[in-house]
Amino acid sequence: MATGMRGLTQFIADIRGARVRELEEKRINKEMANIRKRFKDGNLDGYQKKKYVAKIIFTYILGYKVDVGHMEAVNLISSNKYSEKQIGYLAVTLLMHENSDFLRLVVNSIRKDLDDNNEIHNCLALHAIANVGGKEMAEALAEDVHRLLISPTSQSFVKKKAALTLLRMYRKHPDVIPAEEWALRIVSIMDDPDLGVVICVTSLVMALAQDHLDAYAVCYQKAVDRLHRLVVDHEYSATYAYYKVPSPWLQVKLLRLLQYYPPSDDPTIRSVLHNVLQVIMNNSAEPTRNVQHNNAQHAILFEAIGLAIHLDTNSPLVGTAAVLLARFISSKETNVRYLGLDTMAHLAARADSLEPIKKHQGTIILSLRDKDISVRRRALDLLYSMCDVDNSELIVGELLRYLRVADYGLREEMVLKIAILTEKYANSYKWYVDTILDLISAAGDHVGDEVWYRVVQIVTNTEDLQEYAAKVVFEHMKSPSSHESLVKVGGYILGEYGHLIANSPGYSPLEQFQLLHAKSQFCGAPTRALLLSTYIKWVNVFPELKPQLINVFERYRHVLDSELQQRACEFYAIASRPEEDELLQNVCEEMPPFPPRQSALLGRLNRKQGDTEDKRTWVIGGKEANLERQASKRLTVMTTGAARLSNGSTGVSQPDSASAQDITKTLAGLDFTTSPDQAEAPGLQHASSNLSTIKVPPVVAGPNVDRWFDKLTYSADGVLYEDIQLQIGVKSRYHGHLGQLAIYVGNKIGVPLTSFTTTMHVSEPEALSVTFAKMPPTMIAPRTQTQLLLHIECNKFFRTPPVMTVSFLAGSHQTLSVRLPLVITKFFEGVKLGPTEFFERWKLIGGPPREAQSIFPITLNAAGHIDMPKHRQVVSGLRFDILDGIDPNPTNIVGAGVLHMAVEGKVGCLMRLEPNREAKLCRVTIRSTSEDVASEVQKLVQKPLTTES
């Protein structure tokens, strides 16, 4: 900064030479006064402005308040000299915050620098936007930053900064970025040859995809392809090899990105992913002596294991992973132990069987006493996730023992988890009560109200448990130091069920009262209020205690606390009424059972854990917890969709759903429904149906495109689409319910088609399966052709042909969608029938609804005759066997065929085509054992014959 500015150099030297703070402040005040005077006088050239602003920046960095130089910094940004512009941007990013009024003055200057052909100016502007850009700046400049990112002329380092700037803007102001609109263009940059650009764009895609899964779904294929090229094909430059590991940061990001999406149904993608994960695990099987290499390899390995668990917990890869994790949780390195325990918790959260994890239960329990608290926390999470009916008593016992010496930062979470596990896996109610009371005694202040609320609820609802609970809580309260939560539990249970043990030796009413009242002096007002309610219950069931209890009420009538005073006055009045008065009995009736409700402990634990910025794809807990989470997520999406539909807009403000839900929970037991069998809201039904609809992109249309498609419905090969850049042709063959479709994509121009992406959209996936035989290429060289091979299987009847979307970069990003000529007749097989057989079956099938018939105009050939060759070509092309000699009229065509489907079996189909030369009309009649097949085949026969092609 000080290069070439002697005044700045001298100023810094003077500051450093000041021996005491007073001398430093004196020198700074002198300099600031001089700068103010020079700015006020004006007539400063660029060099002088730069020098004085640099001094202001240095003063600010030292920690002194600066209130001058802002306008001069804004002016420096407009300079054409790099050194002045740099100081101006530095001052703006340091001296101003995102809501500063001065920032509005620099928006146009920043836009000008973004549009500049000078890459250095681009980068300075991007830095400023990322560091201080507020919402106004983001709204004004987001389009310009995006343009820099996608521009084919932008240098790699500019693209990297643009991607990270967009990421920063999205994290601060997500509503400013049109994420879905830009999806395909941003994802296409993941094919950039520069891995540095790919890393930055992948970071951006990860953030965007978490909130817009469907829009960024195409990134799944890109991520798999890039991983295969990095890990298996070793396609990377030496620059991006970190201790012989190819770009570990990119691999980790890609593996994490794949976990956001459900496992792909495409067998090709699954096979490639399996191969990649296998290579990663093989590479990490044996650690090397190089620490940096091990660190990079472990980072990739743990993400790979997480992805393998996400894809299929029963695969051999997960078995291999379990063996590796067992080694890692015993490692000498703290980081490896931490990651091993965390990944094993992921496995426990998804696995069908916990047996591989239970083998290492002793090691995991020992990790609770690890020297590092983060490792102890992960061990706690893992024990919580792997607990089941078989090992619950052992794990809960260990956690209770460890609770007494655990860190204070862990205790509240431990209490919640012990309480949840005790309730979830209790073999007997007695064990549950013993454990929870031990927990309350041991944890003390770390026990939340939810814990003792739940104990009270379960005891109240379980009649066989009430006497035992009263005895146990009485014994626990004999301890010299009983925590207030234990006193609350004791007060409630003894007040309700103390009479059940009153006749047992050592549990007399007087002993119960003396024990409970002795504890009250150490408790707060809410607990004392609860104990007063216990005493009024005792007035009803223990008349012999009435004098002592009335005396207590009398004393509490004069306390300062209004709640205690009001209770005492009311209870004193009730207790003083005559014995024959029934009011006391009615007021003090035994509490009825609580209505069934979900435990509040799980909600408290989930709120405590929360979601990080990089959202987890799983939660701490067993498989049930994760299945419930997925179900709640789906319900949330459906409810959101319903709310949007009912509002008609996403901008309508709604009341806070979380707080409303909490209010409803507090009123559990009240029935708000008007009808017990009330159906779900109409909006919710509509939202559900909308969500299940697959979004198919609009297909290209035009006379040539439609003519090519119609011809291919009855032809095995031909052109499907063509323009000045691209030609798409197809060749196909079918046998039974299976087929192969070869798609030839030709590049007709002199530049390569980069970021070439092919996506299939099948509207009826349960009826028709379309998969790639291998991963499609990502680039097509100039004036060359590539082949895409599709495997097709017909499972059920379908109407809508699949759509293939092709996107590529050729100067700009282009996308087109074309229908593939996959119609139901492709899975027909011709059948030879004699006249007798044909007419028998024709009559057997009968008329409507299993008959479809239509009359349509036809075009005669040049000689004015019926175009018989074309009619026969269409019928045979639709894979009917033409039956000659059946119909006495030689111009009529009769055919028969059988539709093959893997799931629904075979369906017979007969057809009769009757053209009339004089009327220029034709009648087609289709009879089939399936009315859907009949109507669809009738349309397919009619369409090519109606056209003039």
Binding-site residue positions: 6-7, 47, 51-55
Instruction: Give yes or no for a contact between 346 and 309, defined as CB atoms under 8 angstroms apart.
Output: yes
Q: Which helix (H) or strand (E) holds 29?
A: helix 21-41
Report the 10 Å Cβ neighbour count for 486. Answer: 21
Q: Which residue pairs from 544-547 have beta carbons closer than 8 angstroms and sit at least 24 positions apart in sequence?
A: 544/509, 544/510, 545/509, 545/510, 545/513, 546/575
CA distance 922 to 264: 47
Tokens of 292: 């940096």
Report the 10 Å Cβ neighbour count for 675. Answer: 6
- CA distances to 141, 170, 253, 891 from 200, rounded to whole Å, are 19, 14, 10, 67
How far does the chain reach from its first CA to its final CA, in angstroms?
75
- What's the burial of 663, exposed, middle or buried (CB within 10 Å: 0-12/13-18/19+)? exposed
Tokens of 162: 């643009």
- What's the burial of 261, exposed, middle or buried (CB within 10 Å: 0-12/13-18/19+)? middle
Tokens of 383: 């024990």
Instruction: Give yes or no for a contact between 490 and 520, defined as CB atoms under 8 angstroms apart.
Output: no
Report the 10 Å Cβ neighbour count for 153. Answer: 7
Instruction: Give yes or no for a contact between 779 and 754, defined as CB atoms under 8 angstroms apart.
Output: yes
SS3 927: strand
Alpha-helix residue ranges (DSSP H) falling in 284-407: 291-311, 316-328, 334-350, 355-358, 361-366, 373-386, 392-403
Conformational region of residue 128, where left means phi above 0, alpha means psi within -120 to 50, and beta covers everything else: alpha
Q: What is the separation of C-alpha 586 from the centre of its chain, rounded to a whole number of angstroms?
A: 54
CA distance 914 to 929: 21
Among residues 338, 346, 266, 334, the alpha carbon closest in space to that of 304 is found at 346
- CA distances to 105, 342, 457, 667, 809 from 603, rounded to whole Å, are 48, 22, 17, 16, 48
CA distance 398 to 379: 12
**Whether the bond into 703 is cis, omega within 30 of 0:** no
Instruction: Give yes or no for a contact between 514 and 478, defined as CB atoms under 8 angstroms apart.
Output: no
Tokens of 154: 């932008």
The amino acid at residue 263 is P
Residue 446 DSSP code:
G
CA distance 439 to 419: 8
Alpha-helix residue ranges (DSSP H) falling in 542-656: 546-556, 562-575, 583-587, 600-609, 623-647
Among residues 915, 349, 397, the alpha carbon closest in space to that of 629 is found at 349
CA distance 856 to 835: 27
Dihedrals phi, psi of 734, to nearest 5 degrees: -135, 145
- What's the burial of 880, exposed, middle or buried (CB within 10 Å: 0-12/13-18/19+)? buried
Among residues 888, 942, 946, 889, the alpha carbon closest in space to that of 911 is found at 942
- Report the DSSP pairing between strands 717-722 and 726-735: antiparallel
Among residues 195, 240, 189, 251, the alpha carbon closest in space to that of 216 is found at 189
Instruction: Give yes or no for a contact between 81 and 46, defined as CB atoms under 8 angstroms apart.
Output: yes
